[in-house]
Structure 1
């Protein structure tokens, strides 16, 4: 089985968000759509607009995966221009009175403000969710191992020996002996948090525990590590020397 199979949780949440925002916007009829469009027209208009926004947002998150928050904030300007421009063209066909720079700049300002607020809120929430400095431990109590600290991020029924980590857009799929769970975290941050744990980065999107590796497989000129859960994890060229040095190839 390929290691790129995704959990169904994220697509389900995306579909649920699309339905929720579409129904809400169609019922509320913001920006004059309540007076200008019929109920069916509002559902079609907002369904397409919300789908466009979600699609461009997922694309933006994918392209900006792993970059700093400063770059993400700077990217709001071209992203907002793309969204506002597309919706502006759509509005020219839907609303007879729509047109001109005034309408476009108003739309651009609304989009830019909205996505910036959402990005800043996500940044604050993500930083707030990051673990703070470890509390002082009594001298007779050993500090908790890094792997155990990391596993506290998972639901209790998914905590087990680490097998692998896989970056999935802005989420991280953590696979353990007890199952898998998605958490909001960059793989580079997880790698730093797991320093000292017997494991290594084998690909831009993959980290594996050494004890979970069963054997090496080479196919079509590419290297793979077969893990104990049956997944084949690709080894990138840049990471291959470290994998060789670890004795996994």
Structure 2
């Protein structure tokens, strides 16, 4: 769910909701153009998109993650997640309308309105998936401290300037990767495999399905049965899966045993 919270902190998401609310407020769909004056209509639609937008995003991301675990690819998962999200959204909208509107303010009966809301939920979920699916962040200017003889990992160009420092670790979270450097950590919208590729030329190992560590930032390694645990230079423990123990031994970081 952390990826949803990253989107909720993105100004583009809130700007999109605001723009949608204003457009709906002016257009007045579902009969509100005749039942509500302009300013109350705009206020109503802004309230509705601010109410349903974040709630729908959280539901959609949760459903989408579950569907991807079942084997669906990103875009179909986004569409089906939108359909599932439309169900609680419909309940939420009907409840809000019962409080905010008088009987007859909407031109649609409950069932057609519910079907319309599910369709809108599918469209919005699909659009959000497209907008945030592997969307690269704008690269910041290259760090002037990097030298031509020691190229800086391309991954650092995606980080805020104050975090551009030697890499410690990468951690996969849904479509996002948490990048940790000597100066701190940040979540970026990038697949784990792509983040590892962009970490070059920093020497490192993928020690787990969801973890990569820089070799020169391994402070200690201890065995944990057939597995192992790496302690990084910033004091964190990172699990090493059984399948990756030989690679750690080959790198000279764990004695044979």
Q: TM-score range by the shorter chain?
A: 0.5 to 0.7
Q: Name 1:52's counterpart in structure 2.
A: 55
1:230 paired residue number: 235
- Partner SS, residue 158 of structure 2: coil
Distance 1:183 1:103, change over 3 A: same
Q: Distance in 2 between matches of 1:245 and 1:154?
A: 31
Instruction: Report how many aligned residue pairs link the two structures.
Output: 229
TM-score (norm 2): 0.66
Aligned match for 2:77, one of 75, 78, 82: 75
Deviations 1:165-197 (A, max 9, x none): 122333322222233233221111011233453
Match in the other structure for 1:134: none
Cα distance in 2 for partners of 1:82, 1:12 equals 20
Structure 1 counterpart of 2:86: 84
Aligned-residue RMSD, C-alpha: 4.5
1:164 touches 1:174 (CA, 8 Å); kept in 2? yes
Determine which of 105, 116, 121 is the counterpart of 1:106: 116
CA-CA distance at 1:164 after TM superposition: 0.9
- The 5 A counterparts of 1:21-36 are none
Normalization by structure 1: what TM-score?
Answer: 0.67
Unaligned 5+ segments in structure 2 are: 140-146
Q: CA deviation at 1:142?
A: 6.0
User: Which whole-Å CA distance do the structure 2 matches of 1:103 and 1:231 have between them?
Assistant: 51
178, 188, 197: which is aligned to 1:192? Answer: 197
Q: Which has the higher contact order (CA 8 A, sep 6+)?
A: 1
Q: Partner of 1:203 in structure 2?
A: 208
Q: Find the counterpart in structure 1 of residue 142 from structure 2.
A: none
Shift in alpha-carbon separation, 1:172–1:247, aligned structure 2, 3 A: same
Instruction: State how 1:42-191 maps to structure 2 within 5 Å.
Output: 49-60=52-63, 62-63=65-66, 71-93=73-95, 94-95=97-98, 98-100=109-111, 102-123=112-133, 125-126=135-136, 145=151, 147-191=152-196
2:63 touches 2:84 (CA, 8 Å); kept in 1? no
1:88 deviation in Å? 2.5
1:242 aligned onto 2:253: no
Q: Structure 1 residue 236: deviation in Å?
A: 2.2
